[in-house]
Each structure stands twice: as structure tokens, then as C-alpha cells.
Amino acid sequence: MVDASDAARIAALRTALEAHNHAYYVLDAPTVSDAQYDSLFQELQRLEHLHPEYASPDSPTQRVGGRAAEGFRQVVHAVPMLSLQNAFTSEDVSGFDRRIREALDVSRGEPDALRYCCELKFDGLAVSLRYEGGRLVQGATRGDGSTGEDVTANLRTIRAIPLHLRAQAGLAGRSVHPAPPRVLEVRGEVLMFREDFERLNREQQARGDKVFVNPRNAAAGALRQLDPGLTAQRRLRFMAYGLGEVRFDDPGEQVPDSHFEMLQWLADLGFPVGALRERHAGPGGLLDFYERVGAQRASLPFDIDGVVYKVDQRLWHERIGYVARAPRFAIAHKFPAEEVSTELLDIDVQVGRTGTLTPVARLRPVFVGGVTVTNATLHNQDELERKDLHIGDTVIVRRAGDVIPEVVRAVPQQRPLGARRFVMPTRCPRCGSAVVREPGEAAARCVGGLFCQAQRSQALIHFAQRRAMDIEGLGDKLVEQLVQSDRVRSPADLYGLTLEQLAALDRMGEKSARNLVQAINRSRQCRLERFIFALGIRHVGEEVARVLARHFNSLSALMQADWSALALEKAQIQKHNARARARGEPLLPVPLEGVGVEIMQSLQSFLAEEHNREVIERLLAAGVQPSGALTAEVTEDGASRLTDRPSGAALPLAGKTLVVTGTLVGMSRTEVEGWIRQQGGVASGSVSRRTDFVVAGDNAGSKLERALELGVPVIDLATLLSMGSSS
């Protein structure tokens, strides 16, 4: 029979221990002594042992760690975890402010119209915490920004992370939220305080184990332990700084509009947030914050590597937008790097996965910025000459942004008599193919992309991807196995793989091997533009591949092209059109529109390399047949269907710029944008007065609002597809 008094005591102890954890780890204001805390903790452990029916993953006793995991499963972030662009100088910060004001059309004469929230840039490991109904249900690392690793069990051991969200106190001028959001993803940094790091290293040293070079490495290693019990021993901390997905049960509820107030809202929910945060209206205030934080940096209990500036008005974030995988509305202002001197012993050349030749400095080992540095990239020949580096020089080394070792300059006054210059090789040190340096380019590259050992894995991964040859099941790890076992030396070898060979690989059963063989066989029939893109020619992306496929209409014509003659013809036509435009006369069609001289030179170098032509010939001999081009049509039931466009057909969207937004039924946004380009249109990421149409699906947001504001025509997917199929 269940003892009601024990059940009540268990609940009371859990509440009390979580309150003490919050006071100690979040507020830095302990409410009981360590002995009192331990007594309460042991009492709860005893009662939970007596009453296993009350077991709960949310209990404070579970923070000490559970069973070791066999591995970490992948987690796809509902909202991507973006990285930040960096600023290193006051000019960078002023430029950031100028770009924000231009994007928002806010003048400096309106200081109150724009505010920035200034906060610390913690030097730790970014994670995402997902709460549903106020309970922690999942924690994940950042990973590549889109997909991370599930480390929920390990994150539960961090006492600064609430297992339940606290009752919300409300903000000044805002109503109190009666309940936590139905879904709340909190982004923040796992880090280790310096005193805990020093204690850990003393314990490591006493046991004869290796010591860690800095708190960040110790924290990262602790979070990725398969045994949560080991994570619990490392005394990790957490600092919240942002949000991912948020959903309320009540549509009227919302997150505070101000980023500064949002941080206070997170603190009210029970999360630790940085106490050093301020709001400022312009670069002067931002730089003043940076200087004051820099002066306090050494006295902080944890490591930081800079400060972060974010536009405080959260409603403006979408309007300001994003670039690549970083927001435009925020920037990290990094602290200067530490510099030391050492000897440049030698310079080696590494061939990267894309064929770039990079000179690498071999240095006499030197301790800088918390790590021992023995190697540093020298980037390219121009950098070597600009810095006047000779093998044998005394050089100044720093860790740029506290992360990447960099050779800053030589000390010519200490140059020995035997010092010698470095010369970039003219043949690839890995495969012997020619090394070229295109006009205006700093990098030298191996042109044996389909043959070079250094580029082999990257070439295969690119070749097999969905937008190229679409060989489903040929992932990165499998490619590495095939390359390391020497079964595949070029893409052509894929078509000779047998079921038995594939089934013998690690983690490949007979069913998986059979599916992969079928996918390889299906890829033999492919469209020309996909095949061209799959070759991995420098500067030849999907759009250029489409232009080439439309112009040449066959692989043999592409292989036999006279690029010098084409470049001359194009230049002459462009010159003619410039005169004709001034006179109001008809213009001549420009061949290979969008394919400039640089791309032509890249194509010429790639196709002139005998190794590459040999691989292409082997692909054709294996039955790969590139032909056709993609279009789309709308069926009688209203569904979309992709089909082949007859050669020479007109392009109905030529000269049109379209923006796709919202959730579309039947086709992904990527597929729709690809189809727009196939029809000759431009698929843009932002709405402007030059936009011809906005294609809107369900839940279209700021782009739809912008289109309506500018009077840009808005159409649905069916209308768009009918525009293509009507030609």
C-alpha cells in the first residue's frame, strides 16, 4: 500500500532541492549549507528506493547520471542553430550598424528607433534544450546547425538547467503568463567555471590522467561522454541566450518583443542568463561596452572570447534577414588574440578535398592561447610573399579569434643565413595532375578532380548527392569505407560494385546492399545538367550546369567545345549589343548567358586534364547516359508532375524574378525553386520592387507581407506550374 505521507515528502524534497539548485547555480546565492543539501538529497534517494513507483527522470537524484548510452542519435533542430559573423575592429562594428540601419531604413538621427542588446560571448559548447508542457524532454548539441546529437541524459546532470520551468513572474508592462509555453526551445552555452576546471585538472593529475588545456575543451569532452555519470562529475554550467521553436496554447500569449526582456523572461522561467548585458543605440555605446567587458574579462568566473550585439527589437529580425548560415541582425565582437614567437621549421603542402593546395607552416612547438601549436595554415602563395616568410625564420604566431593558429609575420632582423623561400609546386603532390591558378584567384588548385586521391571522397559524395546523380544510400561514412578499402578510386568505379562487395562492408546488410546497387543502376539514366553538376567542376553549380545543358544539348558537344572561340564570340556579341542598345536597335541573343570567362577557363582546365576525361569515358562505358532536361506539368487532378522538356522548347519564365515562401503542397521549396530556374526564371530569396511574382504557400510570413506592401503579384503553386506548362 502506498504511503501518502511518503509521496508528499518525495514531492516536497524534489521541490526544495530544485529551489536550492536554482539559488546556488543560477542566482549564485546559496540558501543552505552543503551538509544540509546532502542530507535532503540522501533522504530523497532513500525514499525513491523504497517507492520505485515514484521514479521520475525529472527528479534531482537523476542528475548524478544514469546508464551509459551506446551512442548518440541524431536530432534535427526544429529551428536551425545559426552561427554568428565576427567583428574584430571598431570599423567592423560601425559597418554592422550601418548595414542594419540601411536594411531598416533607420537614420542615425533617430537614436530611439533602433536599440542593440549587448551581452557576453561565452566560450563553451552550444546546445538546445526542448521543453514540452514545462518539462525538459530533449537536449541536443548544435552539430552542423541543422542536425545535432541527442545528449539529453548528459544535460540532465547539469544542475543549472531546470528540469521543470518555474512559474512566471511577468514583466513590467506585460501580463503574467499563466502557464509555460506548450513548446519552448532554449539555446545556450554549456561551459565550465575556471575554479571547477582547475579542480578537475588537479584531480586528473593526481590520478595520472591527462590534463585539459582549457575549460572549453573540458566541457565539450564532458558533454559527449557516453556515461552520464562521468558528465555529472565535471560540474558543468549553462547560460541561456536565445530561443528556437516556441508555441503557446493561448494564441494571445507571446515572447517579449525585446531581446533584452526575453532574457529576463528566461531568467524568470529558471534559466541562468548573463548578468552583464546592456542596451545601446549606436556604435559608441557598443564599443564602450566592449572595452568595459574586456577590462573585466580576467576577473570573470568563466571564459569569454568576445561580446555579442543583437538588434533588440525581435520583430525586426526577420525583416533584417540572414546571410548563409548566420543572422544579419547579430554579430560577435571578438577579443584580440594572444601572440608569441617561434621558429618556422618547414612548409608543407596539403591538398584539400576540393583540390585547393594550401601551404602549411611546421612550427617549433609553442604554447599560445591555451594550446600547444605546431602547425598553422599559410593560406596561399600571395600570403607567403606578403608576409615575406622564409623557412628558418623567427615568426609571430597567434590564435586568430582564440581558435585558429595563424602566422602573423616574420621577424626579418633574426633571419638566419640559410633561410630559403618557398615555391608552390606546379604538379599536384598527391596525383601528379596539373596545378592551375586562375586569373584573379589567390588559391592554386589541382585540376584532377575525378582522379586525385585527396579529392576522392569529396568527389564521390558530391557525385552521389540528391541534386546530382541521386544515388540514395551512398552516404559519407560508406564513401569513406569504399575509398579507404581502395574499392572505389573514381565515380566510374561505383558502377562496377557488386552486391557481395557492398554487403561485406561494415553496417551493410544484404538488404541495404541490394538497395544501393539498385540506386546505382537507376542513376545510369540521368539528365545532362545533373551529370554536368555531378562532375564537381569548379564554379559549375546547378544553374550553370543547366545553362550548359541547354546550350550544348549533349555531353559530346560539351567535351569538344572550343572555349577560347566561345569566349571571343560572347565578347563580340556583348560589344555589339552595347552599341545596339544605345541606338535602340534589336539585340542579339548572348550564348551561355551567365557563364563568364572565369567559368569557361575552369571548364577548359577540367576537361583538358586527361585523368578527368578518362573517368568520364569510363562512366559512359559503364552505361551512364546523360540526356534530357526537366520541366513540370499539372495533371488533371491538380497534382504536379516532373517530366522531360523537349530540346529547344521555349522558357516561359525567362527574365522573371520569383520568390517562394511558405509551405507548399506536393513539392518542396527547393524543388519549386529548381523548377523556376529550369523555366528560365530567377529564384530569389528576398522580395523587392524588381520581383515579378511571389509564390505563397501556407503559413507565408514576412515575405508575403512585403509583397503586399510593394504591390508584387502573389500566386499559388498551381498557377506557377500552369505558367510553365502552358508554353
List the one residue out of 82, 561, 115, 663 whose CA is nearest residue 325: 82
Contact 262, 228 (CB under 8 A): no
In what helix (H) or strand (E) does residue 31 lie, and over which residues does it extend? none
Q: Which of 121, 310, 570, 703 is catalytic?
A: 121
In degrees, rounded to 5, the angle at the alpha carbon of residue 204 between the alpha carbons of residues 202 and 206 is 70
- Rounded CA-CA distance 594/613 in Å is 25
C-alpha cell read off for 136: 525538459
From residue 141, how far is each of 81, 134, 145 by CA, in Å?
Answer: 9, 20, 9
Contact 51, 10 (CB under 8 A): yes
Helices (H), 248-316: 259-269, 283-296
From residue 9, how far is each of 15, 628, 697 by CA, in Å?
Answer: 10, 73, 53
- Rounded CA-CA distance 669/675 in Å is 10
Which residues is 148 bridged to in the sheet? Answer: 75
In what helix (H) or strand (E) does residue 319 lie, and over which residues does it extend? helix 317-320
Extended strands (E) in 513-599: 525-526
In this structure, the number of other CB atoms found within 10 A of the CB of residue 509 comes to 11
Cell 494564441, located at residue? 251
Contact 183, 292 (CB under 8 A): no
- Rounded CA-CA distance 370/148 in Å is 27
Q: In what order do the strands lie in the sheet with 86-87?
A: 86-87, 330-334, 304-311, 116-122, 278-280
**Residue 210 is a catalytic residue:** no
- Rounded CA-CA distance 381/366 in Å is 24
Cell 543560477, located at residue? 26
Give 111-145 as a DSSP string: GGG--EEEEEEE-SEEEEEEEETTEEEEEEE-TTS
In degrees, rounded to 5, the angle at the alpha carbon of residue 362 between the alpha carbons of residues 356 and 364 is 160
From residue 715, how far is each of 164, 563, 672 by CA, in Å?
Answer: 45, 41, 13
Contact 637, 542 (CB under 8 A): no
Helices (H), 180-257: 194-207, 215-223, 228-232
Handedness of CA 239, 307, 330, 263 (dihedral sign): positive
- Rounded CA-CA distance 656/682 in Å is 6
In degrees, rounded to 5, the angle at the alpha carbon of residue 21 between the alpha carbons of residues 15 and 22 is 90
- Rounded CA-CA distance 242/125 in Å is 14
Residues 361-368: contacts with CB under 8 Å, at least 24 apart: 361/389, 361/395, 361/407, 363/395, 363/397, 363/407, 366/340, 366/341, 366/342, 366/397, 367/340, 368/338, 368/339, 368/340, 368/397, 368/398, 368/399, 368/405
Q: Measured in whole angstroms, how far is the alpha carbon of residue 291 from the centre of its chain? A: 30
Residues 348-353: contacts with CB under 8 Å, at least 24 apart: 349/424, 349/425, 349/429, 351/428, 351/429, 351/430, 351/446, 351/452, 351/454, 351/455, 352/454, 352/455, 353/454, 353/455, 353/457, 353/458
Could you give the residue numbers annotated as active site? 121
